[in-house]
Amino acid sequence: MPTETLPDLLTGLTLSAILFCLGLIGLLVRRNVIYLLMCVEICTNAAALAFVVAGAHWDSSDGQVMFIFIITLAAAEVAIALALVLQFFRRRHTVDIDQLNGLRG
Amino acid sequence: MTPFSTLPAIIAILFCGGILAWLSERYFNRGSRQISLISLSVAAALLATYWPHLTDSPTGVWWDSVQINWIPRFGISFSLAIDGLGFLMLALTVLMGLFGLVVTWRDIRFRRGFFYFNYLWTLAGVVGVFTAIDLFLFFFFWEVMLLPMLFLIAVWGYEERIPAAIKFFIFTQASSLLMLLAIVTLVYLHYSASGILTFNYRELLNAQLTPGNAYWLMLGFFIAFAVKLPALPLHTWLPDAHTQAPTAGSILLAAILLKTGAYGLLRFTLPLFPEASAAFAPVAMSIGAASIIYGALLAFAQQDMKRLVAYSSVSHMGFVLLGLYAMNTVAAQGAVMQMIAHGFSTAALFSLVGAIQKRLNSRDMAQLGGLWSSLPKLSATALFFAVASLGMPGLGNFIAEFLVLLGSFDSNHWITAIAATGLIGAALYALLMMQRVFFGGLRTPEDAQTRSPTDLKAREFLALISLAAGLLLLGLRPQVVFDIAQPAIARTGTLHKKAPTATSQISSPKLRLSAWPDTDHRRGNSP
Amino acid sequence: MQDFFAPFLAWIPLLPLLGFVLLIALPLFHLREPPEAVSAVVGVGSVCLSALLTLLIMWTLFLNNPSAVLQVSLWQWLKVGALQLGFDFYLDWLGMAMLLVVTGVGFLIHLYSAGYMHGDDGYRRYFAYLNLFVGAMLILVMADNLLLLYLGWEGVGLCSYLLIGFWYRNSANGDAARKAFIVTRIGDTAMLLGLILLFSQFGTLSIRALNTAAASAPANNLTVTLAALLLLGGAVGKSAQLPLQTWLPDAMAGPTPVSALIHAATMVTAGVYLIARMHPLFNASETAMSAVGIVGALTLLLAGFSAMVQSDIKRVLAYSTISQIGYMFLALGVGAWTGAIFHLMTHAFFKALLFLSAGSVILSLHHEQSLFSMGGLRRKLPFTFGCFAIGCASLAALPFTAGFYSKDQILLKAWEYQGGFNGIWFTGILGALITGFYSFRLLFLVFFGNDGPASAQCKDANNGVMTLPLSVLAVLALFGGLLTPPLQRVFTQAPAGHAPLWVEGVAIAAPILGLALAWLLFRHNTSPMESRGKSALEKLWFSGWGFDWLYHRLLVQPLTSLARINRNDILNSIYNGTAFICRQLHNLLSTSQNGLIRWYIASFTCGAIIFLALLVVL
Amino acid sequence: MSARELHAILPLLILSGGILFLLLQVSFLRSHKAAAATAVITLIAAIAACFDVARTLSQSAAPIEVTGLLLIDQQALFFCLLFLLAALAIAVLGFSYLQKRCDSARESIPEAFYLLLLLVMLGAMALVFSNHFASVFLSMELMSLALYPMLGFAVTGDLSPRLEQMYSLESGVKYLLLSALSTALGLFGMALIYAACGALDFGGVAAAVANLPRTPSLLLSGLTLLLITLAFKLSLVPFHIWTPDVYQGAPSPVTALIATVGKGAVVALLLRLFTELELFSIPALTGLLAAASVASMLVGNLLALMQKNIKRLLAYSSIAHIGYLLVAFLIGNSAFGNEAVLYYLVAYVITTLGAFGAVGLIADSALARTAGSAGEYVYTTTSPFQRDFYRGLLWRSPWLAGCLAAMLLSLAGIPLTIGFIGKFYIFAAGIQGQLRLLLAAVVIGSAIGLFYYLRLLLTMVLREPQAPLDSIESVRIAVSGRLLLISLTGVLLIFGVFPQILIDWIYTL
């Protein structure tokens, strides 16, 4: 394994980790459902980035393949999510996630 | 050993009888009681087929046994067996079942069929417990008998029945989980040592365990049985359960279910872990003595008649614990006798309380009084059984308690001396009950003022009288029981050879004479 | 001859027991309550039969050979391990003497009761209990092993309980009954422990085997002493000696014939019988012997003092009973076995007589029992007066009455106990004086002087059924001193030697002095003592030296309060506590389920962080 | 790709075919019954295929690897069989659920339910077979993506009471967001693993793990992140918090689905992952799992203790049950451990299906429609999911109550039921592995658990039913549902009394 590229790998992974954390923080602080979905996307793509970095490190194509899988499925996910959000908006006329707390206890 | 021998038949009859009773009530809306009566009688008849074993001294230890593969994966088999001890317990079970059925013949109105379904299934489970010699099977029946009992309490009980039922179930269940753990561990250790994977009691008897393991496993069994017995401080489920259960349920609980604990100690804990038990004996005996006195004290304090009787059983079963861990034949025989005698007397007392509750719908001793003038028969019977339970010589309970004390004295003088004061306590609460309920000026609760209570029906009276006769017989001719139980106890007696290591260090030397050589030959060892 | 009679032995206790069974079973035959006559015939008849049987056996077998022995074994009772007990009866002269007292006096009192209890709605129940008592007492007397004796012992205790509380509607009677049973139960428990100790030591419970073994035991070894003391505990409880004497005065709540039979003639003397029975055991330990003597002496005095100031006719008799049994214990203590048993017999005669005649007095006064509302009755109830006077004389041991001979024997023994003047003897003399005083105080207060308030509407309640036993007992109380049981074979003891003449003199003088004092003070039953208030000392005596108060403070109150505190089981709180903790945890955790997604995400993040942190740790 | 491999993935192919067929069918013929029939047939066919594949496998001992992504072996097939059977049951439950709510008047597409169900099954089975992180990710996502709409299914056309629709929607959104997050985390973990080993197929990773001098922090943290994802799917503490809400809000059949198949598939994956990668040798991971299992047992039971809502109660208890299961899982790479896990999983699946099924059917029976064409669907009582609704149920409809009681007893681990044998297996496994702490937790947890199971049980036998008047008369449920419940109870009892049968199957298959 090409050890001399290990630092690059680590920096890349760190970057994606930071990206992931950003998404996470966004999830924690925002209340708008749309923003939440965006943040989730950020997290997912952070992971995807990590794959790419790793792929580059091992110079194999698996990373990119995974990346494609991920964005595809992320798209599908968002589609479903938006459908649900739509229903939510129809009923409550708001996209404030904190309104969605009927289930508790 | 054909699978179609008597023991499975007894169990099967009770199970099927239960189902039949339920169905008959559901579809013909009558006949459940008759069906249960018949099935119990048949069971009794089947049991009676073992009579020849009583008369001639049985050669083998086990009179009869059945073994069918059940779960070969774990070396679990459906194996039942009966010996003298088991026979006594089965006889007690069936008789008490009949008694409870007859004496409460008219009590149950609500869903009678389902009631007798549960009633018979409890009995079937108990029969299984008393005959199973596969530890898994034993545990299986141990649980099976709880569930219908739970329903008996929870559906047909009195005011506070639901909490009482839950408490009863959680106590027994949680403790039996420990037992399951101990059983599996025992089997695993035996397996890893000998390479034989079996739950069979007879093979596990010669399992080689390190003292540490043995002690822990013994504790696992002991706790489960101590809860059932019940022994301090695990007894608190009992007063609630007894008090809230319907009369028939209380009879089952007191007369039979408590005995399963004692039986378990005698059949499993002591023989499986002799050294550990010997080491544990002082603790167990102290617990027994404590239960005797504490139970008596609390019985003395109660207002509710049923609670009083319940706590009195705590006190009486303390004698059983004391006797079992005294580790000699005399005490063990006493304990067995106590199981039977206590079954009789307490069952009778519960049925009497039930009778009073049915007539005056109150068990509160503050509301009752002077019933003798209005219910002479009932009161006289109550007097008899109260006297029996305070240990009047000539009745079974006294023989039992005397033997227990006699035997345990050899093991530990001081604990015995303390336990003996329980006799005074018994007099305290028994006579207090007589005084407050039956003597003094006539007092009946307001709501019962209108109709004058009717005295015991012939049916009830006959049932009670037969119990009284039984107690008298046990008191004057107890030898029959001892002869039946002797071989089984002698088998556990093998551990008494090892016992002295534990007992001698306890017995305070200043009380025995070194002068006489023959002081030891009579530490009640099995012949 | 012996083996001819042996089978009949079993019938002596069996007959009264059969009577008992018959009596309780009677209503099953015809449903309404049977007429009194039936009950009376069954009850009295059964005892009468066994009395006759006893007499027959004595006449034919025992009278002419003092070492006669009868024994019969009915069935194997217990055979467990080393313990082997038969349901066996054994009869020698000691037992025979007791048998005579129990069946004879018992029969007379049954007869008396037939009249006394007339018209009571518990007539049948009364005789049932009484028969059960006689049966149990006979078993006690004839038992061949200690456990069988214990059976009888507890049986008589039970009957005493039932009969004291016979009039159950008044709960005071019930309390007295419970007190009696429980106090004696304390002693009985000690006795049971004694049995156990004896067995673990000697490996048998057969009385004779024990006696032989004890005789051969090294002197003053601890076990024997302890066993003897434990047995003494039982005896003390049953015979109402110090410190367990408090139940007897209250026991007077029962019907008077019951007091006569159980609490004067037979049951309360069972303790004396027990010790006499086990005398080799006691002989083997000086400690035990002196304990017996001291208990007897103390009881004798304390009870005597209390008897001097009582105001209830039956309570006076009760205290005097305690005091007289004290004499017997004293006798046992000094090894005067024969004297003790002899005094037991005579005491049975005169005390039964006293109680029964007191019963007639009470009945004649419509259940008035206070001494100070009586008086001058000798004109109204001449016959009763005669009987009562004889009884008092015999109780006070005036010369040539039955009581004189027995008490004299005891005092002589006491004198030579330590070969001369000693405390025990002096106590005896003092007791004799006191006895003389209170017995005649009683006589004067009831029968002399001018009428008391209750005496006015007095009508003689004696009828034939009651006079017959009274007169028989009167005769026995007078001349019973002549029939001494030949016990020398049972108790191997030196016959009473000669004490200096003045000792005899003192023994005779003491009761007469007491009589004189009583005459001075109570001749006219308005005495200075009663006119002025009681002194503290009298109050103390009146309350029986405050034992009741003491025990109430020391035992009863702590017990009841403890029970009340712990009524709903302190141990329960362990489990309630556990349940409470679980519930609290549940509430705590439930708050985390607040339904807010962002909070959930936060918790998820925290979880992840925890995991990674753990990863670093592990 | 050889015929043998194609034959090996026959169940998957059948399911996919069924899905396509169903799509076409719906576009031509809108019929709820027909759709249900198609789904059921597909499932049955898949089951048959499973047996077929199993037979071939038993001939050739070696498991078949398909394109490096999937690996078909006996154990996986057993899981598939179990899940397919569960899916069959869920199809029946869903049928009665939709039948109640189906309404030609409004536009409602009940057929979609079956489509999604088949999709979930496809995902689940692929997950069970998967032998490569790519396939793991794909199948897991497939499962989740199909689950989201199912969770929110109550909103399609308004065929349910308003509140229920709202809850369903909420559960959908909650699950979506959280599981998306967890998936992202898992992906990140995979990326790290990839970075550490340079391979994504299990074999490669295993080899790399073996070769690496000492498990480096990179790999370890990657595995941990993956573990977190799985723990989330298994709703292990501390990742359990979504469970009650989602279970409560979702339509009962979907709840059953997510509780059985959703978790079961992950358990299967976990098992394969740990065996293939020999992760049992890494103390850190097993330690994490052990901690999670102890926490789940205690917290799950405590949370359920006073719970009044039955669905939430079952949700909490399912948390605890996965905790128990992990005890068997944790005794390491041993045949007995696998056996125990399988047995317990079977017990869990049967019982959970039965419980949620019964609850759902009972709730459906309380559903009624207000008068008028535009009438809404409302519950006749306050809420059929509250414990009070079950007062005296035994006297109203004994059979239904009997089945539910059996399920509860099985959950509580009382003999005569399969749950007891499962508990027994857990004990045996724990003792073999000497996992004292875990066993203690099991005992304590079960003791706590008894309380709430019992309370529900005894609520059903209360003598004076204080439930609202109109629910006094016996609860009526669809025949199909009744049959299902009774058969489930039968299986429960048979396996409870004669466990040897099932044990033999586990061995043969």
What percentage of chain C carries pLDDT values higher than 90? 27
Q: How many Cβ contacts (< 8 angstroms) between chains B and C?
A: 159
The mean pLDDT of C351-358, rounded to a whole number, is 91
Which chain C residues are Cβ-neighbours of A100 within 8 angstroms? 597
The residue type of D48 is A
**What mean pLDDT comes out for the span C196-205?**
89
R_g over Cα of chain D:
22
Same domain, C506 and C556: no
Considering chain C, what is the average pLDDT of its residues? 86
- Residues C561, C462 within the same domain: no
- Nearest C-alpha of chain D: how many angstroms from C157? 49
Same domain, C559 and C444: no
A1-15, C154-168, C258-272, D53-67: least confident range: A1-15
Whether pLDDT at D403 is above 80: yes
- In degrees and rounded to multiples of 5, residue B82 shows phi and psi of -135, 140
Given a cut of 70, whether residue B403 has pLDDT beyond it is yes
CB B58 within 8 Å of CB B48:
no
Q: Give yes or no: residues C564 and C446 share one domain.
A: no
Closest CA relative to residue D320, chosen from D288, D350, D352, D346: D352
Q: Which of D336, D450, D459, D493 to mutate: most B Cβ within 10 Å?
A: D450
Residue-by-residue DSSP string for B302-371? -SBHHHHHHHHHHHHHHHHHHHHHT-SHHHHHHHHHHHHHHHHHHHHHHHHHHHHHHHHS--BTTT-B-H
Q: Are residues C362 and C502 in the same domain?
A: yes
Report DSSP letters for C27-54, one per residue: HHHSSSPPPHHHHHHHHHHHHHHHHHHH
Among the partner-chain residues D221, D241, D299, the one whose CB lies closest to the CB of C615 is D221
Give buried/exposed letters for C151-184 (b at 16+ CB in 10 A, else e).
bbbbbbbbbbbbbbbbbbeebebbbbbbbbbbbb
Closest CA to D244 of D317, D298, D323, D165: D317
Nearest chain A alpha carbon to D189: A47
Whole-angstrom distance, CA of residue D63 vs CA of residue D43? 23
Q: How far is residue C451's CA from residue C380's CA, in Å, rounded to a whole number?
A: 10
Task: Report the alpha-carbon distance of residue C423 to residue C445 in Å, rounded.
Answer: 32
Name all domains of chain A by residue range, CATH numbers in brackets.
3-92 (1.10.287.3510)
Q: Give this complex's ipTM.
A: 0.89
List of chain C residues whose C-beta atoms are within 8 Å of the C-beta of residue B302: 567
C551 and C427 in one domain?
no
The answer to whether the CB atoms of D500 and B143 lie below 8 A apart is no
pLDDT tens-digit readout, C224-249 = 889 999 999 999 999 989 888 889 99
Record: contact C615-D220, CB cut-off 8 A: yes
Q: Yes or no: say if A57 and A2 are a contact pair by the CB < 8 Å rule.
A: yes
Chain C residues touching B399 at Cβ < 8 A = 78
pTM assigned to the model: 0.90
Position C229 in a domain? no
Residue whose C-alpha is closest to residue B523's, from B436, B409, B394: B409
- Neighbors of chain B by Cβ distance (3+ pairs < 8 Å): C, D
The residue segments making up the domain with residue C553 are: 546-590
**Maximum Cα interatomic distance, chain C, rounded to a whole number of Å:** 115
Q: Which two tokens stand for residue B205?
A: 């008897």
Q: Using a CB–CB cutoff of 8 Å, tell me whether D167 touches chain A.
A: yes
Average the pLDDT over C566-575 and give the result: 84
Residue C575 and residue C428 share a domain: no
Closest residue to B71, CB basis, from D414, D420, D500: D500
CA distance D310 to D247: 10
Neighbours of chain C (3+ CB pairs under 8 A): A, B, D
> Is C333 contained in some domain?
yes
Of D414, D439, D458, the CB nearest to B181: D439
CB contacts under 8 A, B 136-155 vs D, are: 139-140, 143-144, 147, 150-151, 154-155
Cross-chain residue pair A27–C590, CB shorter than 8 Å:
no
3 state DSSP class of C169: coil
Structure tokens at D188: 């990140």
Tens of pLDDT, residue by residue over B107-123, are 888 888 888 999 999 99
- Per-residue pLDDT tens digits for D409-467: 999 988 889 999 999 999 998 888 888 889 999 999 999 999 999 999 988 888 765 54
Are C586 and C456 in a shared domain? no
Residue D509, pLDDT above cutoff 70: no
pLDDT tens digits, D254-269:
999 999 999 999 999 9
Residue indicated by tokens 């918090």: D241
Residue D348: band (very low, low, confident or very high) from pLDDT cuts 50, 70, 90: very high
Q: Is C574 on the interface with B (CB under 8 A)?
A: yes
Sign of CA dihedral A83, A89, A95, A99: negative
pLDDT of B515 higher than 50: no
Contact D432, D365 (CB under 8 A): no
Does residue A45 have a pLDDT over 70?
Answer: yes
Chain D neighbors of B70, CB-CB under 8 A: 498, 500
pLDDT digits (tens, 9 = 90+) for C1-53: 667 777 788 888 899 999 999 888 887 766 677 788 888 888 899 999 999 99
pLDDT in the model for residue D266: 94
**Optimal mutation site among B374, B406, B409, B474, interface C, most CBs of chain C within 10 A:** B406
Q: Which chains have 3+ CB pairs within 8 A of D?
A: A, B, C
Residue C530 has pLDDT above 60, yes or no: no
User: Is there a domain that residue C214 lies in?
Assistant: no
CB contact under 8 A, C562 and B297: yes
Q: What is the pLDDT of residues C377-397, one digit of tens each?
A: 888 888 889 999 999 999 888
User: What confidence tens digit (pLDDT) does each residue in D382-399 have?
Assistant: 678 888 888 888 888 888
Chain B, residues 268-297, CB within 8 A of chain C, namely 297
Tens of pLDDT along A58-100?
888 888 999 999 999 999 999 999 999 998 888 888 888 888 8
Q: Are residues C509 and C554 in the same domain?
A: no
Predicted local distance difference test score (pLDDT) of residue B499: 39
- Whether C88 is in a domain gets the answer no
Strands D377-379 and D367-369: antiparallel
Residues C385 and C320 in one domain: yes
| Among chain C residues, CA nearest to A30 | C598
Average pLDDT of chain D is 87
In a domain, C438, yes or no: yes
Same domain, C397 and C522: yes
Measure in Å the smallest separation between the Cα of B252 and chain C Cα atoms: 23
- Asked whether residue B301 carries a pLDDT value surpassing 80, the answer given is yes
Cβ neighbours of A36 in C, within 8 Å: 597
Note the pLDDT tens digit of each residue in B414-427. 999 999 999 999 99
Residues 6+ apart with CB under 8 A from D40: D88, D91, D92
Chain segment C364-382, per-residue pLDDT in tens: 888 888 877 787 888 888 8
Residue of A nearest to D176 (CA): A81
Q: In which band, very low, low, confident or very high, does the pLDDT at A1 lie, cut at 50, 70 and 90?
A: very low
Min Cα separation B296/chain C (Å)? 10
Q: Which residues contact C460 (CB under 8 A, 6 or more apart)?
A: C360, C364, C380, C381, C383, C384
Specify the pLDDT at position C34. 77
To probe the interface with C, which of A24, A37, A84 has the most C CB atoms within 10 Å?
Answer: A24
Q: Is B68 on the interface with D (CB under 8 A)?
A: no
| Model pLDDT for residues B446-460, shown as the tens digit of each residue | 665 555 678 888 888
Q: What is the pLDDT of residues B245-259, one digit of tens each?
A: 999 999 999 999 999
Burial class (CB in 10 A: 0-12, 13-18, 19+), B54: middle
| Residue D255 contacts A where some CB pair is shorter than 8 Å | no
What pLDDT is attached to residue D159?
66
Check whether residue C420 and residue C497 sit in a common domain.
yes
Selected for mutation to probe chain C from B389, B516, B523 (highest C CB count within 10 Å) is B516
Question: Hey, is the C-beta of B302 within 8 angstroms of any chain C C-beta?
Answer: yes
